Structure 1
Amino acid sequence: MSRSRPSPRTLCSLVVLALLALTGCAAGSGGTGNSALAVLCSNDVEVCRAWAEDFTERSGHAVTTVRLPTSEALERIRHGEDLPEFDVWHGGGSEMYVEAAGEGLLAQYRSPEAEGIPATFRDPEDRWSGVYSSMLAFCVAPQALEALGAEAPRTWDDLLDPALHGQISTASPRTSGTAYTAMALQIDRLGEDAGRDYLEALYGQVLQFTRSGTAPAQVVARGETAVAITFAPYCEAARAEGSAVEVVMPGDGTGYEVGAVAVLADAPHPELAREYIDFALSADGQQSGAASGINQIPTRSNLPDNLAEVLADGRYPVIGSSLAERAARREGLLAWFTEEVER
């Protein structure tokens, strides 16, 4: 099968992602070294860049951003207690923020912007707040499916079609919050035992697990697989760039993330960190990432099509347990994945 050439944005993002993960990247003209606010970001690299640049433009403060998948970011924070290197964690599913808060890794801060966020999307002790959301979906390449003689998947069970063996891209739940959302959804949908049986069958269809939940949409866009499991905005962005991909919302139920932001305990620049949180929770901050071409759902109740409205109007077949339940069973599910899938 011939592979499509990566778009300029894809090539740029891959280079930037590598640089950010290894060395960090300062936004703005005035900041280098320890004087810059240090943000650990768990979203698409272009969204991370847009957040940093907008904060710098509005505040005048430089930002150094390091981009890591959500689970890897949490591990980085855990191992940085003796020598704190970040001020803020921005992006990634709030299940991991619940874990971090329980371990004392997040600082308490009540932002004046917090009232704009419904209580269900933020920590009752003000250690983190949800600032965006995305719906889990399939990103499909119709031409690739036609070449395989396969129909576009419309349900989760459709992903088990033998024709799709080695034709599915997804991230590893050990490193990606996106992948853990998909994993937890199957337990909610089918129950503990049947859910694990389904996951084992699904993972047998996967070509290769990516580190980041943003990557599978690009894997499909490059023609390496026919289907990706990812959040819908990443597929929509690839389509907007000209890739022949489409978003399919699974008809038998989907899940969503509540991406969060928090001040880290022992932040080297706590005042700047709190200023950044105010920005991230604000209407301007929640619309900032759209400049990247990735349109995520805001959590602020005064913004159109906010998460509470989307959930209330039933436009998506959302199912799922509470945030506390998903966070509580994460360790057990990841241990099962390591022992039964990666072995």
Structure 2
Amino acid sequence: MITRRFLNGFNRKWKNFISLFISSFTIVVLFTACVADPSQVQNNASGNATGTDSAETLTVYTALEDDQIKEYLASFQEQNPNIKVNIVRDSTGVITAKLLAEKDNPQADVVWGTAASSLLVADQQGMLEPYAPAGLDKVTSQLRDPRNPPHWVGIDAWMSAFCVNTVELKEKNLPMPKSWADLTKPEYKNQIVMSNPASSGTGFLSVSAMLQMKGEEEGWKYLDSLHQNVAQYMHSGSRPCKAAGAGEYPIGISFDYRAVKQKNDGEPIEPVFPAEGSGWDIEANALIKKANIKPAAKTFLDWAISEDVSKKYAENFAITAVKTDVPIPQGYPADPLKQLAKNDFNWAATNRDRILEEWTKRFDAKSEPKT
């Protein structure tokens, strides 16, 4: 359970956190939800949101998947046709570093669907404005800030999963991995890709899970062994699964939604939830503290935990903050809560800088080039 120790346990050495991420800024893709066409896309190489600076225009930072955003936003635009939403989307680490870099001149109005463990780095710097969105009483207590009013509110939880290309596995005569331990077997040498924890929340939750499940000494030994079989560390949570789906590598260490979606879309992907348990985190929302907080920002946060969009979340994730009547998507474990590994958020948050520094020193040589 998330406790106040989780909220208060952040290491104040956040400058190291910024330095790990700031160099990894990628071209930011801006999705503009307009009155006439909610799916209209705008590209802006500078990474800054476009649009007029009015009470009816919102800049929303998110780490949600590209293919989720349009579907989720449709109901908001239908209900609020006079509010224009500029979406700035990137990996968790990049979004977090961007927020911290803009601390003295915040550009975002709202953060939507970004790791709670990362949001609280911003909260430690006083960047989040407490706000209790309408419908807060329906949010599961374990997936929200316990303070009243909360500084962040979750929408769902996501967990690590292996994306295994069954065609490639057969062609290479490789066995189906069933556990984290399996991935260190010599037959998988150079057959695995994984998310880089210095730029990906998915990568970090997997590394954190290993260190917590095994203890630090044995955890680093495990990661050393896994490193021998990793061909490349990729700069997003979904990239390893997409690479596996394309047949570039047989196995991608990614996360649940991406593995399940690619399988259900007809790709030769088998989602594998490791026997020892999956690392996990919470996708959460927050209001950015600014001199001028727009009423539309609170409208957005009210909608972001509403029943309408929560049903959409439930179509993609097995664990959602607001319970709905939507069945667990095909491909997930029957009891997803039992799949979650030990996760002391307080420990992970306090030791995040140190973990990433050590991981980078040991393994960054195999990271894909930064763009």
Common fold, TM-score beyond 0.5? yes
Query: CA 1:315–1:298 in 2, change beyond 3 Å: closer, same or farther?
Result: closer
Measured against aligned partners, the alpha-carbon deviations of 1:25-67 in whole angstroms (never above 9, x if no partner) come to: 2112369333421111102111123233332222121111011
CA distance, structure 1, for counterparts of residue 249 and residue 111 of structure 2: 32
Q: Which residue of structure 2 aligns with residue 112 of structure 1?
A: 134
State the partner residue of 1:285.
309
Which range is displaced more, 144-153 or 169-178?
144-153
Q: Tell me the SS of whatever aligns to 1:251.
A: coil
Q: CA deviation at 1:167?
A: 1.4
Identify the residue that residue 46 of structure 2 maps to in structure 1. none
Deviations 1:84-115, CA, capped at 9 Å, x for gaps: 21111112321111222111121110112211
Closer, same or farther: CA 234–312 of 1 in aligned 2, 3 Å: closer
Report what 1:90 is aligned to.
112
Pairing 1:131–2:152 present:
no
The one-letter amino acid of 2:35's match is S
1:311 to partner: Cα distance = 11
Alignment equivalent of 1:26, drawn from 27, 32, 43? 32
Query: How far is 1:255 from its partner?
Result: 2.5
Unaligned runs of 5+ in 2: 1-25, 37-49, 366-371
The CA deviation string for residues 214-235 of structure 1, in whole angstroms up to 9 with x for no partner, is 2211111100111111112111
- Structure 1 gaps of 5+ residues are 1-19
Amino acid at match of 2:71: A
Once the two structures are TM-superposed, the CA of residue 128 in structure 1 deviates from its matched residue by 0.5
Which residue number in structure 2 is paired with residue 167 of structure 1? 191
- Quote the offset at 1:297 in angstroms: 2.8
The answer to whether the Cα contact below 8 Å between 1:253 and 1:319 also exists between their aligned partners in 2 is yes
5 Å-filtered alignment, 1:206-225, equals 206-225=230-249
Identity %: 24
Which one has a larger percent helix, Structure 1 or Structure 2?
1
Are the structure 2 counterparts of residues 328 and 312 from structure 1 closer, same or farther at C-alpha, using a change threshold of 3 Å?
Answer: farther
Q: After superposition, where does 1:147-158 map in structure 2 within 5 Å?
A: 147-158=171-182
Q: Which residue of 2 aligns with 1:50?
A: 71
Distance 2:277 2:353 in 1: 24
Residue correspondences, number: 319
SS of 1:259's equivalent in the other structure is strand
2:228 is aligned with what amino acid?
Answer: G
- The residue that corresponds to 2:279 in the other structure is 255
Q: Which one of 186, 208, 227 corresponds to residue 184 of structure 1?
A: 208
* Range with bigger deviation, 110-119 or 45-54: 45-54
Alignment of 1:6-25 (within 5 A): 21-22=27-28, 24-25=30-31
Letter of the structure 2 residue corresponding to residue 198 of structure 1: Y
Per mean C-alpha deviation after superposition, the further-off stretch among 49-58 and 136-145 is 49-58
Q: Which runs of 4+ in 1 moved over 4 A?
A: 302-306, 310-315
How much has 1:267 moved relative to structure 2? 7.2
Write the letter of the residue equivalent to 1:265.
Answer: K
Deviations 1:309-338 (A, max 9, x none): x99957633221222222222111101112
Cα distance change of structure 1 residues 23 and 191 upon mapping to structure 2, 3 Å threshold: closer
Letter in 1 for 2:141: A
**Greater alpha carbon shift after TM alignment, 259-268 vs 330-339:** 259-268
Cα distance 1:276–1:257, how it changes in 2: closer, same or farther (>3 A)?
A: same
CA displacement 1:276-318 (0-9 Å, x = unmatched)? 111111121222356xx74453111455568xxx999576332
Give the alignment's Cα RMSD to 1 decimal: 2.4
Q: What is the 5 A alignment of 1:300-319?
A: 300-301=322-323, 303=325, 316-319=338-341
Q: CA deviation at 1:178?
A: 0.6
Report the more deviating stretch, 195-204 or 313-322: 313-322
Change (3 A) 1:211 1:314: closer
> What SS does the aligned partner of 1:29 have?
coil
CA 1:273–1:296 in 2, change beyond 3 Å: closer, same or farther?
farther
Q: Secondary structure at the match of 1:110?
A: coil
Distance 1:194 1:51 in 2: 41
- Say whether the 8 Å CA contact 1:41–1:48 is kept in structure 2: no
Tell me what 2:170 maps to. Answer: 146
1:316 alignment partner, SS class: helix
What SS does structure 2 have at the residue aligned with 1:212?
coil
Q: Would you say 1:101 and 2:123 are equivalent positions?
A: yes
Question: Does structure 1 conserve the Cα–Cα contact (< 8 Å) formed by 2:156 and 2:317?
Answer: no
| Partner in structure 2 of residue 328 of structure 1 | 350
**Contact 1:84 / 1:267 at 8 angstroms: preserved in 2?**
no
Structure 1 length as normaliser, TM-score? 0.86
2:87 is the alignment partner of 1:81: no
Aligned partners of 1:215, 1:267: CA distance in 2, in Å?
37
Amino acid at match of 1:110: A
Amino acid at match of 2:136: A
2: CA distance, partners of 1:201 / 1:113: 46
Change (3 A) 1:281 1:315: closer
